[in-house]
Structure 1
Amino acid sequence: MSTTHRLALIPGDGIGQEVIPPATAVLDAVGRRHGITFTYDTLDWSCERYAHEGAMMPADGLDRIAGHDAILLGAVGWPGVPDHVSLWGLLIPIRRRFAQYVNLRPIAVFDGVRSPLADASGVDFVVVRENSEGEYSEVGGRVGTDLALQEAVFTRTGVSRIADYAFALAEQRRKHVVSATKSNGIIHSMPFWDEIVAERAARHPDVAWRSEHIDALAAKLVLDPRSIDVIVASNLFGDILSDLAAAVAGSIGIAPSGNLNPEREFPSMFEPVHGSAPDIAGKDLANPLGAIWSAAMLLEHLGHAEAAEEVTAAMRAQLAEGSRTKDLGGDVGTTEFTAQFLARL
C-alpha cells in the first residue's frame, strides 16, 4: 500500500539551499523502497525575499502551508538582515501558529566523528525544549534609549505539556529526566517551572528525575554527558544547551531538530540547526547530515519508523567508514558526500 505526503520546502538562505536537495533525495530514495511518495512545494521565503519585498514570507504564507503534512527548512539568515527579522518574520510565526511547542534535538556521538571531549563514546541523549513561550515572548518594550524590558511568559499549560512529552519520551529510552532550572536566581518563573515539572513527574513513577541548575547542567554536559538521557528545558535554556550538546557531539553540522505539534493537528517543521553559514555558502562545503537526519525525524513523525532507521543507520555506517565533510575533519564536499550516501542507502 503506497502513501503520499505533501511537504513544504523552505530552503532559505546560504547553505540551506545546498542541504535541502540532499535531504529530499534521501526521502525519495528511501520512500521508493517503502512505497512512500513525497510531493514538494518549494517556497522562496528567505532573507533575500526580505531584501526585495520587505517580508520574509507573504502575508498569507501560513495559510498556504497549513494543509501540508510537514515542513522541511534549510536555514535562514544573511548579512545585512538582522537576526531578529529572520527569526520573528518566519520561524517563530510558524512555530506558534502551528502549535509546534516541542523542539526535539537528539544528540549522539557517532563512530568516526571526533568530539572535543577526550572520551565521548556512548553519548546519546535528547534535549526537549519548550518552543512556544518562556523567555522568547513578545511582552516588553523599550523606554527611550536607557531602558529595555523583556518579560518571560510561563503558563501551566505550556510547562505541563512539555514536561509530559519529556517524561513520556524517557519511558521509551533509559527512564531518566533532568529538568533545567535556575530557581535560585530567577525568583518567579523558575520556581513555577519546578513545581509543575514535579507535579507531572508524579504521573510517571517509573522515570527517575532531578532538577539541576542550568549553569551546573552546562558543566555536566561537558564533564559527564553519558549520564544524560532526556533534558527538559525552557525555550532559552533548551536553545543554549542543545547547541552546546551538538558541539560536544563533534559538529553542529550534524545536528537535527524537529519543531513538533505532537497532536498532529498542524504540520510539524524539521530543520538542521547549523544556520545559513554565509562564509561557506556556494563552496560545496556544507555538511548535509543535519538536514538528512532532520528528514529521518520527519519520516518517524509521519509514521515511517523503519524508513527513518534506515536513514540513520546509513549515517552511522558512512561516518564510521571515514567519509566526512570538512567540518568533521574530512575532505569530502557536499555533492560527493551526498552521492556516496545515496549509493549506500
Structure 2
Amino acid sequence: MTTYRIASIPGDGIGVDVVAQAREVLDRAGSLHGFDFAWTDFDWSCERFLKTGAMMPADGLDQLRDHDAVFLGAIGFPGVPDHVSLWGLLIPIRRAFRQYVNLRPVRLLPGVVSPLAGRSADELEIVIVRENSEGEYSQIGGRHNSGQPDEFAVQQAVFTRVGVSRVIRYAFELARTRGGQLCSATKSNGIIHSMPFWDEVFASIAAEYPDVRSEQSHVDALAARMVLRPDTLDVIVGSNLFGDILSDISAAIVGGLGTAPAANLNPERDFPSMFEPVHGSAPDIAGKGIANPVAQILTGAMMLDHLGETAAAEAVSAAVDAVLASGVRTPDLGGNATTTSVGNAISEALK
C-alpha cells in the first residue's frame, strides 16, 4: 500500500476546523482506494508568532522538504499584520519550493446559488492560473523619510522571461486539456514596461499552440466580463496581483470563497507542492462549528490528483456534489449544517 507523507498546517482561525474535516475525508478516500497518509502536524500560525516571534522555525523549510505535499488551512489573525503572517510562512514556502503556479479552479456546485441571476453550472466554470513567484509581490523596495511630510514608499515589480514563460506555457498546456481556450490578463495600456513584456511573451508562446484559441484582455475589462459574460471564459492566466484579484472574483460568482479550492504547484515536482483553499482564516467564526469545509475538502481532492490518485480525487469531488445537492450546507450557503456534519456527510457519501 502506498503511503503519502503529508505536512499538515491547520494554521489559524477556521483553518483548524476545516483541516480536521478534510483529513477525515481524505483518510476515508484512501482506505477505499488502496493508499493511506502519514500526516505530520505543524503548529505554524499567528498564535505561534505571538508566542515565539516567528511564524515557523528557522529550519521550517527543511522540515517540509521531504514530504510529498503540504496541506494548509488558513493563515491570519487579529494582532498580527497580514504582511507579517504572509511573508513569514506562505511566501517563503512558495518561493523556496518553486511553486510558481497558483491554480484556482471554480465551478458552480450543485445546490449552490450564484449571485449572477440566470446563470447555470455549465456557464460558471473557470480556472485561474496565477503566476506565484514574482511579479508585483516582490521584496524589492522600501519606505523612506518615515513619519515626515515627504515620506514615500517604493515597491518594485519583477517580471523575468523565465518566470513569465513558464506560467504562460503551463496555462496553454492546461487549456489544451479543457476547452482549448485561454485568456491572458494584462494592463499594457497603463503599465508601460512589465505588461507589454508579458504580452510579448504570451504572443510568442501562443504561436506554438495554434490549437488553443488565445486572447488578451485588460484586467479591468476582464473583471467586468467575468461578471457579465462568464460563459465566454475558461482558462485565465495572469500575473501575481491580477491572478490574485481575479480568482477572488471567480470564487464570488460561484457562491463564495467557502467553495473555492487552490493549489501552489511545482509542476516539475522537484519540491513538494502546497494545497490551500482560497478563503481566509475568518476569525469571527472560528471554533463555532459553522465554517464551510467544502473548499478545504476540494483542495484535498486537488492534492489527490497531484499525487496521481485521480480516481480518489474524482470520488471526493462527486461526494461533495452529492452532499450539497441533498441540501446539507453550512450557513454561508443558506443551510444550517455544522462543519462536522458536512464533513461527516461527505465521508459517508464516499461509500
- The interval holding the TM-score normalised by the smaller chain is over 0.9
Q: Distance in 2 between matches of 1:150 and 1:79?
A: 25
Q: Give secondary structure in 1 for the equivalent of 2:258.
A: coil
2:27 match = 28
List aligned pairs for 1:164-203, cutoff 5 A: 164-203=169-208
Q: Give secondary structure in 2 for the equivalent of 1:32.
A: helix
Residues 184 and 217 in structure 2, CA contact (< 8 A), matched pair in contact too: yes
List aligned pairs for 1:128-147, cutoff 5 A: 128-145=129-146, 146-147=151-152
2:322 match = 317
Q: Distance in 2 between matches of 1:226 and 1:312?
A: 22
Q: Distance in 2 between matches of 1:343 and 1:334?
A: 14
Aligned length: 344
Residues 106 and 125 in structure 1, CA contact (< 8 A), matched pair in contact too: yes
Q: Give secondary structure in 1 for the equivalent of 2:280.
A: coil
Q: Distance in 1 between matches of 2:220 and 2:30?
A: 43
Given candidates 258, 266, 270, the residue that maps to 2:263 is 258
Write the letter of the residue equivalent to 2:7: A
Encode CA deviations 1:172-214: one digit per residue, 9 max, x unaligned: 0000000000000000000000000111111111000100000
Encode CA deviations 1:90-130: one digit per residue, 9 max, x unaligned: 00000000000000000101120011110231211100000
2:349 match = 344
Deviation at 1:143, TM superposition (A): 1.1
Residues 126 and 250 in structure 2, CA contact (< 8 A), matched pair in contact too: no
1:120 match = 119
CA RMSD of aligned residues (A): 0.7
> Is 1:207 paired with 2:189?
no
Q: Distance in 1 between matches of 2:191 and 2:130?
A: 18
Structure 2 spans left out of the alignment, 5+ residues = none
Residues 69 and 303 in structure 2, CA contact (< 8 A), matched pair in contact too: yes
1:46 match = 45
Residues 109 and 120 in structure 1, CA contact (< 8 A), matched pair in contact too: no
Q: Distance in 2 between matches of 1:236 and 1:46?
A: 24
Q: Give secondary structure in 2 for the equivalent of 1:253.
A: helix
List aligned pairs for 1:147-158, cutoff 5 A: 147-158=152-163
Write the letter of the residue equivalent to 2:10: P
Q: Give secondary structure in 1 for the equivalent of 2:103.
A: strand
2:276 match = 271
Encode CA deviations 1:263-311: one digit per residue, 9 max, x unaligned: 0000000011111101100100110011100000000001111110001
Single out whichever of 54-63 and 26-35 deviates more from structure 2. 26-35
Residues 120 and 249 in structure 1, CA contact (< 8 A), matched pair in contact too: no
1:4 match = 3
Deviation at 1:69, TM superposition (A): 0.1
Percentage identity across aligned positions?
Answer: 62
Given candidates 228, 231, 235, the residue that maps to 1:226 is 231
Given candidates 229, 248, 252, the residue that maps to 2:253 is 248
Runs of 4+ that moved beyond 4 A = none
Q: Distance in 2 between matches of 1:38 and 1:4?
A: 5
2:86 match = 87
Single out whichever of 276-285 and 117-126 deviates more from structure 2. 117-126
Write the letter of the residue equivalent to 2:296: A
Q: Distance in 2 between matches of 1:119 and 1:182?
A: 30
Encode CA deviations 1:228-268: one digit per residue, 9 max, x unaligned: 11000000000000001100000101111000000000000
Q: Distance in 1 between matches of 2:219 and 2:326?
A: 36
Write the letter of the residue equivalent to 1:129: R
1:235 match = 240
Deviation at 1:319, TM superposition (A): 1.2
Encode CA deviations 1:9-31: one digit per residue, 9 max, x unaligned: 00000100001111111111010
